[in-house]
Structure 1
Amino acid sequence: MRNWPNWPYHSIAVVLCSAALLAGCGKKEQATAQRGQVVAHVGDEVITNQELENEFRLANIPPDKQKDPEIVKQVLGQLVTRKYLLQQALNAKLDREPGVLLDLLRAREQVLENAYLLRRVMSKPPTKADIDRYIADNPAKFSNRKLLQVDQIAFPLGPAAQSVVESSREAKSLDELDQQLTAASIPHGRQSGVLSSGDVGPELFDKIEAKKADDVFFVRSGQNGIFFKVLGEETRPLEGQAAANQARQLMRNDALKGEIGIATYSANMEAKFEGEYQQIMQGQGKGQ
C-alpha cells in the first residue's frame, strides 16, 4: 500500500480532484489534436503541427527559419522525447503522486498568471508619441548609446557566491575574483563580451564613465552574476525603426513590472493569513 504523506484528508481530495480535471483536459486536448494535422506519433501520444509551431514560438525561432531541416529536426526531436517521457511517466502513474500533482498545479498557475499579465500589458500598447517620448527621455539607451568591450566572468548566484560578491568591492582585478570563485568551488566562465549602456542602470553607467583603469564592476543578469572590466567603448546610437522596436519592448517590460506590482498589492490586501503566518506577513515575526 502506498504511504501517503500526513496531509489533511480535504487537502488530498483537492489535489486528486484537480488531477482529475487536468487529466480530463488532457484527454479533451488529445481528441482535438487527433482532428488536427498530425506530424508524428509517439506510442499513444500525437504531435500536431500546432504544437510544433508553438515550440518554435517558445524558442523564438523566426518564421523564415522554421522550415530549416536542421532546426525542424532539433525541435521536433526534443518534442518527441518529451512525449515519450510523458508516456513513461503516465505508465508509472507518476501523475498520481502528491508531489507531482502539486508541481502540475503550480505549472498551470504560472502559465495562467503569465497569460493574464501579458494580456493586460498588450491591451494597452504605447502610442507613437509615447515611444518618441521614451526614446527622448533615455538617451543612454538610444541617441547616446555606447557599446562597452568587456572582459567578464559569469557565475550562478547563490549563498556560496554571496561572499565573493561582497568581497568584490575590494578586488583589484578579475584574476583575483577568478581565483576566489575557484577556491569556493563555484562554477564560472570567463570571456570577452560586449555590454550596451542601455543594459545597465544610469547610476552604474555613471560609475563606468568615471572609472579608473583597474575598476571591476558587478551586475546581476537573471539567475547569474557578472563581474566585468571595461576594455574600451564606442558610441553606437540606436535610431529609426530599430530604436522604436527596442523602446516598445522596454516599455512593455516596464508595464509588466507595473502590473506585477499592482497584482502583488491587491493580492496581499485580499489575502487572509492564518496563525504564525499572519505575524510573519505583517512583519511581526521573530527578529522583527
Structure 2
Amino acid sequence: MLVHPYLLKLKETERRVKRLRDLRFARLVLFLAASGLALGACGQKSADNAPVAKGQVVARVGNEVITTQELENEFRLAGIVPDKQKDPEVVKRVLGDIVVRKYLLQQAMAAKLDREPGVLLDLLRVREQVLGGAMLNRAANAKAATRADLDRYIAKNTWKFADRKLFSVDEIIIPLSAATQGFVNANKDARSLDEVQRQLTEGGIPHGRQLGVLASNDLSEDLVGLIQRRKDDDIFFTRAGSNGLYFKVRSEEVRPLAGEDALNVARQALRADALAAELGMAAYSAKLEAKYEGEYADLMK
C-alpha cells in the first residue's frame, strides 16, 4: 500500500520529536543521578556496604546509613542548641525522623519514583534552592559584621536595645494565607479585639485568643512608635512568621538589652540585612540575564 509522502514526513517528524524528548529526559536523569552520587558520597554507603562518609554510624536502615554528621546537621537545621543535643528525648525524636525519611527513600527508589518526570523536576528544584541558598550565605558571610558595625547598629536602633520594652498584650492569632489576607485588609481599622474575634468566628476563620508578651526589638520602629502614642482602646496588627497578630497593650516595662545578648541580636539583624541585599542584587542580575520567549516576552517586560 502506498503512503502519501506527507504522511511519511509527518511520521519521521514525530519520531524525531520523540527521540529529542527522550534524549532531554535522559539528560535530566543523568544530571540528577550524578548529583545524587555527589550527595551520596557525603553520607551514604559504598557498594561493599561500607560507609563512605567520615563519622560514626549511628543507625542503619536497609542499605542506608545515618552518621553523626547527618544527625548534627539535623540539629543545626532544627535550631536545636548544643545543650539540648544530648537530651535523650530530643535525640530520640530527631534520629527517629531521619530513620523514617531513610526508609521512605528506599521505598521510593524501589518503586522507581525517582524516574518520574514530576519527581525529577521536584528534585531539580530542591537542588537549585539549596545551592542558591548556599551561594547567598557565602556572599553574606564574606561581609560579616565587625564589632564597630555592631556598635553602630545598637546605637542607631535604641528601641531594640537601650530603650527595649516588653509589652504585655491581649492577642488574637490567625494563620496568614490567601484566604485570610482579605480579612486582614478589611479589618485594618477594627475598634476592638472582641469585634475582630466575632468576625473571625462568623467567617469560620481559625484563630486563638490569649495573653502574651511582645518585645519591642521584635517589632518595627514604626509600630513601636504607634504603640508609644496609643490610646487606651487602640488595637494593632503585625505579622509574626506565618501568622497574623491582632493585639491590645495591657502594660509595658523597660527591659534594656545589653552586653553579649545585644551583640547577638545585632549580629543576626545585620546578617538578615546582608542576605536581603545579596538576594536583591541577585534578582537584579538575573533579570538582566534572562531572555524570555514567546508570550512570556511581553508578559515579563
In the alignment, what sits opposite 1:219?
238
Corresponding residue SS for 1:149? strand
Change (3 A) 1:140 1:27: closer
In the alignment, what sits opposite 1:104?
123
Taking the aligned partners of 1:203 and 1:26, their CA distance within structure 2 comes to 46
Higher alpha-carbon deviation: 252-261 or 208-217: 208-217
Shift of 1:212: 1.7
In the alignment, what sits opposite 1:80?
99
In the alignment, what sits opposite 1:31?
45
In the alignment, what sits opposite 1:285?
none
TM superposition score normalised by structure 2: 0.86
Q: Tell whether 2:75 aligns with 1:56.
A: yes
Taking the aligned partners of 1:231 and 1:257, their CA distance within structure 2 comes to 34
Change (3 A) 1:178 1:14: farther
**Unmatched 5+ stretches in structure 1:** 1-5, 283-288
Change (3 A) 1:178 1:18: farther
Shift of 1:235: 0.7
Shift of 1:24: 2.8
- The one-letter amino acid of 2:45's match is A
Taking the aligned partners of 1:27 and 1:162, their CA distance within structure 2 comes to 42
Corresponding residue SS for 2:187? helix
Shift of 1:19: 2.9
In the alignment, what sits opposite 1:182?
201
In the alignment, what sits opposite 1:228?
247
Taking the aligned partners of 1:227 and 1:276, their CA distance within structure 2 comes to 43
Q: Tell whether 2:31 aligns with 1:18.
A: yes
**Alignment equivalent of 2:168, drawn from 130, 145, 149:** 149
Shift of 1:61: 1.6
In the alignment, what sits opposite 2:184?
165
Shift of 1:26: 4.8
Taking the aligned partners of 1:118 and 1:26, their CA distance within structure 2 comes to 19
Corresponding residue SS for 1:66? helix
In the alignment, what sits opposite 1:47?
66
Taking the aligned partners of 1:170 and 1:123, their CA distance within structure 2 comes to 44
1:79-110 deviations in Å (ceiling 9; x for gaps): 11111111111112111111111111111111
Alignment check: 8 A CA contact 1:155 1:224 kept: yes
In the alignment, what sits opposite 1:286?
none
Shift of 1:65: 2.1
Change (3 A) 1:165 1:27: closer
Change (3 A) 1:183 1:18: farther
In the alignment, what sits opposite 2:288?
269
- The one-letter amino acid of 2:160's match is K
Runs of 4+ with >6 A deviation:
none
TM superposition score normalised by structure 1: 0.89
Shift of 1:253: 0.6
Higher alpha-carbon deviation: 70-79 or 9-18: 9-18
**Alignment equivalent of 1:192, drawn from 204, 211, 229:** 211
**Unmatched 5+ stretches in structure 2:** 1-17
1:58-89 deviations in Å (ceiling 9; x for gaps): 11222222222111111111111111111111
- The one-letter amino acid of 1:18's match is F
Change (3 A) 1:203 1:96: same
Shift of 1:179: 2.3
- The one-letter amino acid of 2:232's match is A
Higher alpha-carbon deviation: 127-136 or 27-36: 27-36
Select the structure of larger CA radius of gyration: 2
Tell me the percent identity: 56
Change (3 A) 1:158 1:67: closer
Taking the aligned partners of 2:108 and 2:198, their CA distance within structure 1 comes to 43
Taking the aligned partners of 1:18 and 1:249, their CA distance within structure 2 comes to 36
